[in-house]
Amino acid sequence: PRSTPKPSSAASDVYKRQAVFFGVVFYTAAFIAEIVRGGILAVPKGQSEAAAALGLKRATALRRVIIPQAARVMLPPLGNQYLNLTKNTSLAIAVGYSDIVQVGQTVYNQTGKTLPVVSIWMLFYLSCSLSISVIVNFFNVRMRIVER
């Protein structure tokens, strides 16, 4: 019986990173696709009928009539999904890039000070989350429906 050779540590790290990357990408892509589908379906059917009545091709109607209206509906859940992506990558980094986490673990194992290390990690993810929130809120304000 032949035994299969074990992958080297470097190859194992590559496989871990690929698994984490594709797992996060497919997980997030499924949610974003559903948000986009729901946003497009939220546009009243009369809008696409009106575009067809004007003689617009389907691609032109999507680009100029349907997508701009759907974007207003899609933007808040897309912002939430990107915030979720930021939170999910914290776990992915712990699994796929364990060497980064091990540096922090080494620091608090040698010094006994856990709070500064964890605080740095928390500040990093807090700044990422707040940045995404500010950007999404900026576009929400710009895309809001103006009452006449």
Q: State the pTM of this model.
A: 0.75
pLDDT of residue 9: 67
Identity of the residue numbered 67? I
Among 22, 19, 20, smallest CA distance to 30 is for 22
Give the model's pLDDT for residue 96.
67
Identify the pLDDT of residue 54.
95
pLDDT at residue 61, rounded to an integer: 96
Which pair of structure tokens corresponds to residue 86?
A: 């930021």
d(CA 52, CA 50): 5
Intervals of the chain under pLDDT 50: none
